[in-house]
Each structure stands twice: as structure tokens, then as C-alpha cells.
Amino acid sequence: MNDARGWDVEFRLQAFGYLVKLNDLQFLFLAFTYHNIFSIIDILYDVLQKKAVDVNYCSSQIQSTIVRIGELHEEEQFKEVFNL
């Protein structure tokens, strides 16, 4: 069923649900966190997928990734959220 503007009721309810989530601080924090973590892990994934890579290099990249993810906790935008 469509309303006067051509939007069906299901679409409007879904849009409202997305709007509610985008106004939820916990959801935004988790989305932001996952984005930052996955962008770091994506680099590691690319390194580990290469067939001609030295094991020591892979090990150093894993350690570097662990450190970079740990450093996320120290970034200002995370400190602001942790202090709420």
C-alpha cells in the first residue's frame, strides 16, 4: 500500500528504524569502532593473502596490527566516548 507521496508503509517503517539507530549513541560508537578496526585488519588481510610472503614479515605485521588496534583506545574520539 502506498501513501500520497508514493512511499509504501514498509519503506517508511524501515526508514524510521534506521533513523532511530542513527540517533543511538551505542550504535554509532560500535559502527565507528568496527569501521576503524576493520580498516586496519583489511591491510593485514591483504598481506596474509599473498602467497610469496616471508613468515617473519607476516608475524611482524600481525604484531603491528595488534599495536595499532590497541592504540585506538588512546585516540581522542574514543576517550571522549569512554568518559561519557
Q: How confident is the model at residue 84 (pLDDT cuts 50, 70, 90)?
A: low
Based on the structure, what is the number of domains in the chain? 1
* Overall pTM > 0.85: no
53 found inside a domain: yes
Q: How confident is the model at residue 8 (pLDDT cuts 50, 70, 90)?
A: confident
Q: Which domain holds residue 37?
A: 25-82
Quote the CA–CA distance of 17 and 9 in Å, as a whole number: 12
Q: What pLDDT was estimated at residue 27?
A: 86
12 found inside a domain: no
Quote the CA–CA distance of 30 and 72 in Å, as a whole number: 13
Lowest mean pLDDT among 10-24, 44-58, 67-81: 67-81
- The helices-and-strands tally (H runs, E runs) of the chain is 4, 0
